Structure 1
Amino acid sequence: MTLHLELAPVLALLAGVGILIMPKLLNYIVAGYLIAIGLIQILNI
């Protein structure tokens, strides 16, 4: 039996738990997401 995990749902789950534990963490998560998406689109990764 193999378990295939995609990266996006795992990151979403971890981000959700982090936000529940520390609501101020939301700012950092959103900023990191926007920076990552911007870099991915600029570099065509």
Structure 2
Amino acid sequence: MLMNIHLSLVPVVSLLAGVLILVMPKLLNYIVAFYLIAIGLIGLFGGGHFHLHL
């Protein structure tokens, strides 16, 4: 039995950023800056249609 899981890149980055903010609140500025840069790069290079198949 093979199970296909489709993960989009943007929600994974958002989830990771949220967890890091909860664990290390002092890093909020850096996490938000990294998140915004990552989302901008994904938008510019069309990575929003990238899916991970696990």
4+ runs of 1 displaced by more than 6 Å? none
**Paired residue total:** 40
In structure 2, runs of 5+ residues without a counterpart are 46-54
In structure 1, runs of 5+ residues without a counterpart are none
Relative contact order higher in (CA < 8 Å, ≥ 6 apart): 2
Instruction: Give the TM-score normalised by structure 1.
Output: 0.67
Higher percent of residues as strand: 2
Q: Which residue of 2 aligns with 1:5?
A: 7
Identity of aligned residues (%): 68
